[in-house]
Amino acid sequence: MSEPAKQDGEFTTESKLERLFARGEFVVTSEIGPQKGASAESVIHHTEQSKAYCDGFNITDNQSAVVRLSSIAAAVHIMRHGGNPVIQMTCRDRNRIAIQSDLLGAYSLGVRDVLCLSGDHQSFGNHPTARNVFDIDSIQLIALVKMMRDERRLLCGDELKTEPRFYIGAVESPTGDPVELRVMRLAKKVRAGAQFIQTQAVFDVEKFAAWMDLVRNSGLDQRVNIMAGVIPVKSVRALRYMKDNVAGISVPDELVDRMANAENPQEEGKTIAVELIAQLRRIAGVKGIHIMPVGWEDVLPEIVTRAGLQLRPVAD
C-alpha cells in the first residue's frame, strides 16, 4: 500500500511537497511549459515571477507532443533560480532504458518530484509521423519509479548502487465518463505507488464532487494526496475548445455563456478560476490545487492572491 506522507515517523523522500502534505498544508502547484527553443529565458522569467506563489512547478514534457526544451534541463534552471520543479515523465518518447536513465539523471541533478503520465499522442504535435514508444504505460511507470526507489532495482532486476528517492505523482481525469472507471484507474495508480495526484482541469464542480464521493467511499483519499486541477481561460473560444475537443473535461454551459457574455473575457476567466478554487477547497479530500495557466503563466500570482493562497508555507 502506498502511503501519502510519513512511514514510521520518517519521510519516504526529500520532497518539499511530501513535507507540506504531511503537515496538513493546502498545497499549490503550477505549471511551466518550456519554450520551443534552446533558451531558458521564459522558464527563468516565470520562476522568478511566481516562485513565491506556489510550492512547485510542473515542467511539461514536450507538451501536446510538440518539441520543446527538455523538462529535466528546465528543472535545473528552475532550481538555480529558487523554484521547486516537478518533472513530467511521459511514456510516449522513451523506452524503459531511456526512462530509467533519465530518472537517475534527474535525481542526480537535484530533482525530487516526478509526475508519471502517458503523454499526448504524437499525431497531435508537430511531428505527427514520428514513431511513438509506449514501451510501458503510466501505471507501469509509477511502479517502475517505486521499484527503483524502494527496492533499489532496475526493471530488469539489476541492483542500483544509489536509488532515486522520488516523491511519485500521477494524473487522473475526474470528470471523464464513466466516473466509476476513473476511480478504478485511480486505485490502480495508488496501488502501483502514486503518492499524489494532480487532476485534469475541473470546470464542472458538481461532477468532480461526485467523483470525490466515490474516492472517499473507497478510502483512496486517505492513501493519496489529491490536487484538483484548474485552468484559467482567456476566451470563450478556448473554453469551447476544451468542452468540445479535450477528452476528460466537462464544461457546464453556464460557464461558456458567462465567458461569451463577458465584457472583458480575460478578467472573467480569472474570476471563474478564483471561484473554482474556492469551491474545490471546500470538498473533503482535496489536499491542494494544481493551477495550469497554459500559455498564460503571468496570471498565476494574481489568481493565487485573489484566492487567498499567496502566503505559501515553508517546508521543514
pLDDT per position as a tens digit, 31-70: 999 999 999 999 999 999 999 999 999 999 987 778 899 9
User: From CA 239, how far away is CA 218, in angstroms rounded?
Assistant: 32
Q: Where are the domains of the chain?
A: 6-306
Class of CATH domain 6-306: alpha beta
Q: Which has the closest alpha carbon to 119: 60, 165, 77?
A: 60
Hey, how many other C-beta atoms are within 10 angstroms of the C-beta on 214?
16
pLDDT of residue 6: 44
90 has pLDDT over 70:
yes
- Candidates 288, 293, 275, 280; CA nearest to 208 is 280
At residue 132, the pLDDT reads 87
CB 294 within 8 A of CB 233: no
Q: What is the mean pLDDT of the chain?
A: 93
pTM of the model: 0.93
Q: Shortest CA distance to 115 belongs to which of 76, 162, 75?
A: 75
| DSSP 3-state of 11 | strand
